[in-house]
């Protein structure tokens, strides 16, 4: 590697450290120091391009705003074209990085390495909780667990007063009416992650292949997250899975979930999802932070909500074009900053727990 490139890399690592140190300070007198650190974290390619996961689109909007405010003159154009398209466009060299609900796999790993001239890394930057949202007149604070959710979504539990649901909700008046299941009719990373959860958390009682199409064999389809939220809002006695922000905006009930550890029902909050993320297992090597999401789905940690999807930013570990590597690094550094992270709950996402964010910071600092 050229000497100048090594100098640039070292300077950016130091800048990243200064940025996080400044952002974490309570000393208002250090405002000038933070501004200087932000300036040092910037640089490289001015107009970045990325595409991919629509699940992270609202988070990316916030990250881009922080990036453009922090790094004057630098921009990022993100196209939410879907995870598959994002991976293909990155591998084809049409974009500088990709957003994806799934890590690179199979032939994609080798193809991305050829595109980068180096290893490609999967960096899980955005986590979005999946709500079990319901419209059940007269019933609040519904409690469910993994096996029961699986049996609802594969048609084995068909009425709201089924003994499996009643056992989890003592004292509640559950109506003796059919459960109406609403599912995503379009291909969706949310659907795939949800079905992975159903299999993992039910010891395979769900019994259906996890893919981006719903395979439960029951219910009515609606297109998109807004579609299933609207269908559930407009249909009494119905239930769906959907990103939490859509459930909130639709005024739907959100079930509390008993995780694999048993014990108390866990409500969906940024803190309880963060508790699950804190303990998720990383199975990738080094800075390639591929996750074992089954470790999240089957968490036994107290007060940990177990259903969430992770979105990766897929990057080159060592870009052949130095300015591009510097620009991608600058964007990701600002995305990890407290300024960018603190507004995520309003958009239905979860700020990264400190320990997990530090792991990502170390990986971002290593990009060249």
118 labeled part of a ligand binding site: no
Give the model confidence (pLDDT) of 222-238 as tens digits: 999 999 999 999 999 99
Matching CATH topology for 3-125+311-365 and 129-273?
A: yes
What is the per-residue pLDDT across 125-182, written as a single tens digit (0 to 9) for each? 999 999 999 999 999 999 999 999 999 999 999 999 999 999 999 999 999 999 999 9
Is 230 labeled as ligand-binding?
no
Taking Cα atoms as reference points, which of 3, 61, 30, 121 lies closest to residue 343?
61
Query: What is the pLDDT averaged over residues 335-352?
Result: 92
Look at residue 6 in the predicted model and tell me its pLDDT.
Answer: 33
Q: Is pLDDT of 206 > 70? A: yes
Q: How many Cα atoms are found within 13 Å in the side-chain-facing hemisphere of 293?
A: 23
Average pLDDT, integer, range 12-31:
33
Q: What is the separation, in whole angstroms, between the first and last Cα of the chain?
A: 10
* Residue 75, both tokens: 């921009």
State what percent of residues in the chain have pLDDT above 70.
89
Structure tokens that stand for 367 in this block = 């990009």
Output the six-digit token pair for 146.
């993994």
pLDDT at site 90: 98
pLDDT at residue 38 is higher than 80: no
- pLDDT higher than threshold 60 for residue 11: no
Q: Which of 302, 304, 298, 310 is nearest to 150 (CA)?
A: 298
Residue 1 has what pLDDT?
Answer: 36
Q: 3-125+311-365: what fold? A: D-Maltodextrin-Binding Protein; domain 2 (3.40.190)
| Domain coordinates in residue numbering, the chain | 3-125+311-365, 129-273
190 is in an annotated binding site: yes
Task: Say if residue 4's pLDDT is above 70.
Answer: no
**What is the value of pTM for the model shown?**
0.81
Which of the residue ranges 5-14, 239-248, 307-316 would you say has the lowest mean pLDDT? 5-14
Better pLDDT: 15 or 171: 171
When pLDDT is cut at 50, 70 and 90, the band that residue 12 belongs to is: very low
Average predicted confidence (pLDDT) for the chain: 89
Whether residue 189 is annotated as binding a ligand: the answer is yes
Q: List, in order, residues 6 or more apart from 79 with CB less than 8 Å away.
A: 49, 50, 51, 52
Quick one: what percent of the chain has pLDDT higher than 90? Answer: 80
Q: Look at residues 243, 353, 358, 248 and name the one whose alpha carbon lies nearest to residue 301.
A: 353
Confidence of residue 40 (pLDDT cuts 50, 70, 90): low
The answer to whether 211 is a known ligand-binding residue is no
Instruction: Tell me if 216 is assigned to a ligand binding site.
Output: no
83 known ligand binder:
yes
Say whether 185 counts as a known binding-site residue. no
Look at residue 91 in the predicted model and tell me its pLDDT.
98
In the CATH hierarchy, which top-level class contains the domain 129-273? alpha beta
Q: For residue range 256-311, what is the model confidence (pLDDT) as tens digits?
A: 999 999 999 999 999 999 999 988 999 999 999 999 999 999 999 999 999 999 99
Summarize the confidence of residues 98-106 as an average pLDDT. Answer: 93
Residues in the chain: 368
pLDDT in tens, 55-74: 899 999 999 999 999 999 99
Q: What is the DSSP string of 23-60?
A: HT---GGGHHHHHHHHHHH--S-SEEEEEE-STTHHHH
pLDDT surpassing 60 at residue 27: no
């Amino acid at each position: 590697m050229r000497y100048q490139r090594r100098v640039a890399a070292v300077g950016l690592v130091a800048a990243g450290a200064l940025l996080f140190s400044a952002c974490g300070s309570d000393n208002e007198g250090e405002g000038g120091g933070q501004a200087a650190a932000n300036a040092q974290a910037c640089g490289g390619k001015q107009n970045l391009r990325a595409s991919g996961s629509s699940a992270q689109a609202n988070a990316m909007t916030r990250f881009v705003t922080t990036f453009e405010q922090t790094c004057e003159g630098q921009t990022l154009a993100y196209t939410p074209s879907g995870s598959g398209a994002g991976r293909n466009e990155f591998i084809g060299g049409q974009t500088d990085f990709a957003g994806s609900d799934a890590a690179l796999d199979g032939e994609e790993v080798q193809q991305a390495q050829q595109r980068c001239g180096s290893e490609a890394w999967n960096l899980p930057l955005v986590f979005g909780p999946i709500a079990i949202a319901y419209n059940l007149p007269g019933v609040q604070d519904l409690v469910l667990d993994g096996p029961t959710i699986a049996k609802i979504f594969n048609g084995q539990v068909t009425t709201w007063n089924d003994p499996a649901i009643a056992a989890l909700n003592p004292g509640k008046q559950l109506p003796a009416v059919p459960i109406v299941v609403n599912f995503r009719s379009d291909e969706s990373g949310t659907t795939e992650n949800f079905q992975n959860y159903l299999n993992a958390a039910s010891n395979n009682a769900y019994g259906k292949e996890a893919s981006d199409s719903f395979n439960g064999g029951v219910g009515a389809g609606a297109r998109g997250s807004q579609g299933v939220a609207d269908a559930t809002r407009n249909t009494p006695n119905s239930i769906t899975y959907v990103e939490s922000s859509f459930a909130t905006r639709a005024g739907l009930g959100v079930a509390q979930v008993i995780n694999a550890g048993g014990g108390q029902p866990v409500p969906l909050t940024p803190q309880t999802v963060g508790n699950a993320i804190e303990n998720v297992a990383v199975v990738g090597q080094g800075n390639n932070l591929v996750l074992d999401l089954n470790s999240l789905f089957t968490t036994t940690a107290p007060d940990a909500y177990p259903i969430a999807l992770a979105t990766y930013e897929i990057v080159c570990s060592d870009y052949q074009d130095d300015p591009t590597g510097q620009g991608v690094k600058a964007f990701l550094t600002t995305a990890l900053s407290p300024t960018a992270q603190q507004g995520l709950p309003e958009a239905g996402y979860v700020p990264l727990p400190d320990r997990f964010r530090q792991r990502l910071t170390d990986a971002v600092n290593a990009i060249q």
